Amino acid sequence: MNNRRIFKDSFDLYCWFFQVVAVLCLTSVVIWLCLVPKNPIFTIVDFSFLVFNIKNSSLHSGNNSVLLNVEIFNPNKGMSIYYNDINFALNYNGLVVGKYSTKGIYQGHKNITRKEVQMYIVDELFWQEIGSRSINFVLVLETIVKFKIFEWRTKQRGLKYVAYMNNVTMSNNGTISSEKIVKLYHKSLHL
């Protein structure tokens, strides 16, 4: 009878210990999931070409540019983001034909920030191609971010986003006939 009592007491102790460990594990998983930051979401909400005369290639100058309106969304609750310079590059046929860099910004949690980006493009082939037919090009965005979780800041993390712009054609006044809203997709970038 005494052995049964000791066995029951030790079984109760093991059950209690298992319950405490299970609750601690579940609590730590929930806290970890809440504190893992999500990457920001970049979306091109509008873009157009600022061109003086698209059909006459002799009038092309260094003032021809692409105008992008970019929306940056921080999807994190309670976590803000510090951005270093945000670098934009426009690639056409494997060559970088336009670049632009914005200064670093701070973005609060669940916030949307809009940036206007104007890339000057002097590549003559790009303007001749887009003036005569539809083209495909790639917009690349790179930045380095730090997340602020309460008063703690994470280490720097490099982010790279890419948008593939397909079948873009331009009218004489610089408007385009492609999608106006384009989401940039995250690619890995190592520091």
Q: Where are the domains of the chain?
A: 1-36, 38-188
Give the angle 111-165-143 at the CA atoms, nearest 5°. 45
Amino acid found at 183: K
At 22 the pLDDT is: 94
The alpha-helical segments, DSSP class H, found in the chain are: 2-35, 124-132
Amino acid found at 156: Q
Residue 34's SS3 state is helix
* End-to-end CA gap in the chain: 67
Using CA atoms, how far residue 85 sits from 23, 69, 75, 142, 158, in Å, is 43, 17, 20, 8, 11
At 57 the pLDDT is: 45
Closest CA to 53 of 61, 44, 45, 43: 61
At 126 the pLDDT is: 78
Residues of the chain with pLDDT under 70: 1-8, 51-63, 171-180, 188-191
Q: Which residues pair with 146 in a beta bridge?
A: 82
Q: Which residue has the tokens 């052995």?
A: 3
Q: Please tell me the CATH code under which domain 38-188 is placed.
A: 2.60.40
At 191 the pLDDT is: 52
> Cβ contacts of residue 103 below 8 Å, gap of 6+?
85
At 110 the pLDDT is: 92
Closest CA to 89 of 113, 62, 66, 115: 66
